[in-house]
Amino acid sequence: MKRRLLATICLLSAMVAMADTAIDTAPADTLANEAARKLYAYLKDEVWGKRVMAGCQAEWNYNTNDAQRIYQAAGKYPAVNVFDFQHHDQSWINYRTATALNWQKAGGIVGFMWHIHMPCNVFAEGEEGWGGFYTEAAATGEQKPCYISPKQAATEGTPENKLLLKRLDNVANLLLYYQQQGVAILFRPLHEAAGRWFWWGSEGAEAYKMLYRYMYDYLTQKGIHNLLWIWTSQLNDPDWYPGDEYVDIVARDGYPEGNTSHHAMVADYEHLRKAYPNKMLCLAECNSVPSWESMQESGALWLFVAPWCGGGAFAHGNDNAFWKQLLQQEGVLTRDELKVFE
């Protein structure tokens, strides 16, 4: 009884603290369409500070494999399924199937991240194909390092910019297609930049912000207004923040070494609450998924929590029994409980 009372007090205190700081009332994109505005309002008014949405990834591409595995384990689907545009130019995946649309029609929220592959050497013939996205310091095994300059990629007319535009145009066409279908998207590009293991973070904060803002402006000027933009923090990177006018939600990717504890990553949450008081926060990637008890008792109510894909969804203590227990909690939202587009 004492523990339950303490948990209630902690949760109420957290909710009061959040109420003292107003979350932005509308999406960063002033031309956001009805679907994006409806999603933003639902997240802000019905979820944030009250409940946590369960989420999962899509095995680096365009599927609901992990969501299906979680359903088999728990009898419920997670609320958020995050796809990846990493393979947008590969013929073996058709991003124009109704996978995203069907997920939303079933009540779920659609997310997309994007590992942007670029040529290993922008000036070498025959290198434009698959390429890579890791910097030389981070590439291991068969991974090819990418030497693309983010500053040059965001500078009109450069060879790097022309390569980026090919990819942007391809993804823009897909986003416009989803927009025409009425799909609203949690969009998380250029993540973990300050870690400097991806090419988009290789030249520091100013070059990164230049690239992020270039992408934002390019896509919105293409008429894409169904996105809520997520920026991912490495905690020690305030200089890398693109600005409130470019960001709707701040994310954290957390992989504590050897973690199987299901803790809520409270220190990370509190750090981000202080740094970005007018933004909702999500745990966009993690190894061990936080338990509802840990989030409730600490007040670290992430907007959604999502383990990394493939084996990660069922590793680090995320076994079948854990998923079943988590998705049965009243405070954890599953796909069948969402009321976004009704």
Alpha-carbon distance 127 to 140, whole Å? 19
Q: Are 133 and 115 in contact (CB under 8 A)?
A: yes
Which pLDDT band, with edges at 50, 70 and 90, does 310 fall under? Answer: confident
Name the average pLDDT for the chain: 92
Entry field: residues in the chain? 342
Poorest-pLDDT segment among 23-37, 110-124, 242-256, 317-331: 110-124
Q: What is the mean pLDDT of residues 124-130?
A: 56
Q: For each of the domains in the chain, give its residue range(s) and CATH number, in order of start.
A: 2-337 (3.20.20.80)
Q: What is the mean pLDDT of residues 299-305?
A: 98
Write down the pLDDT at residue 131. 80
Cβ neighbours, 10 Å, residue 223 = 13
Write down the pLDDT at residue 251. 98
- DSSP-assigned letter for residue 143: P
List the beta strands (DSSP E) in the chain: 52-57, 80-84, 109-114, 185-189, 227-233, 249-254, 280-286, 304-305, 332-333
Q: Which residue matches tokens 């997670």?
A: 78
Q: Are 22 and 278 in contact (CB under 8 A)?
A: yes
Q: How far is CA 51 from the centre of its chain?
A: 18
Alpha-carbon distance 107 to 117, whole Å? 31
Over 60: is that where the pLDDT of 215 sits? Answer: yes
Query: Strands 52-57, 304-305: parallel, antiparallel or unpaired by DSSP?
Result: parallel
Q: What is the mean pLDDT of residues 273-296?
A: 97
Over 50: is that where the pLDDT of 7 sits? Answer: no
Write down the pLDDT at residue 141. 85
Q: What is the mean pLDDT of residues 235-248?
A: 97
Which pLDDT band, with edges at 50, 70 and 90, does 121 fall under? Answer: confident
- pLDDT tens figures, 146-186: 999 999 999 999 999 999 999 999 999 999 999 999 999 99
Write down the pLDDT at residue 129. 54
Considering only CA atoms, which of 48, 57, 86 is closest in space to residue 318?
Answer: 57
Q: What is the mean pLDDT of residues 223-243?
A: 98
Any residues with CB less than 8 A from the CB of 74 and at least 6 apart, and which? 320, 323, 324, 326, 327, 328
Considering only CA atoms, which of 237, 182, 176 is closest in space to residue 212?
Answer: 237
